[in-house]
Structure 1
């Protein structure tokens, strides 16, 4: 096998020309498209990373808001319990004071009616005593008949 230098030089020149032509019309646009694709992928990765960070921040905010809502709900429930307990105590206290007031009014009414009854009884006893005295004076009876007469009128008073 013989090496022909002229064929080798022509092959090298053809290879260089082919390389330059491919570089200008094929590799240039191909590398441009690949560079654009690389830039697009980097942008998408950066966008995805920032979206992930925003999602994490949003998730943290939502968790904080949810925890705050739970705390507020617990406080509202606790406040409702305290308020209802206080209202129940107030109602019971009000009922007790109303019952005591009614009891006091009833006792006053009873005392008033009792005093009226005693006054009426006294006036009636006074009237009966006067009647007894007038009858005794009219009859001028002895001591035994006088006792019977007093007993009779006391029985009449007792039956009224």
Structure 2
């Protein structure tokens, strides 16, 4: 096999010239496009990582807010429960006080009625005793002295 240098040398020179032309006009622009694209991809990845980090922080803040709101809600419910219990206790206490007042008034009223009835019975006994004494003695007795005698008699008997 024979090497034909007359073809190899001009071919090699053409190849280097072609390479330099490609390098000057195509490779640099292609590398620039590739580098630009690489930077865009890296920027997109960085942005995605930043967004992911931001999302994690927002989720953490959201979880903390939910926990805080839940605790606040429980405290609020407990506060309203305590207020309701207090109102319930006040209502029960007021009712018991009212029942005691009614009972006391009823007791006083019963006592007054008993005393009134007792006085009326005494008066009836006195009147009947006077009529009986008048009929027995067939004469009229001094009403005031007779009443005094009957009152003493009733006091001794215990009416």
TM-score bin (small chain): 0.7 to 0.9
Residue 84 of structure 2 corresponds to 84
TM-score (norm: length of structure 1): 0.79
Alpha-carbon distance in structure 2 between the residues aligned to 1:24 and 1:132: 157
Aligned to 1:38: 38
The Cα of 1:86 is off from its aligned counterpart by: 2.3
- Map of 1:15 onto structure 2: 15
Alpha-carbon displacement from aligned partner over 1:93-125 (angstroms, at most 9, x marks no partner): 221111111000000000011111111122222
What residue is the counterpart of 2:3 in the other structure?
3
1:61 matched to 2:52: no
Report the TM-score when normalising by structure 2: 0.80
- How far did residue 4 of structure 1 move? 4.0
Query: Could you say what the CA RMSD is over the residues aligned between the two structures, in angstroms?
Result: 1.6
1:48 counterpart = 2:75: no
Q: Deviations over 1:45-100 (max 9, x none)?
A: 11101100110011001101111111112212222332222222222222111111
Cα deviation for residue 6 of structure 1 reads 4.0
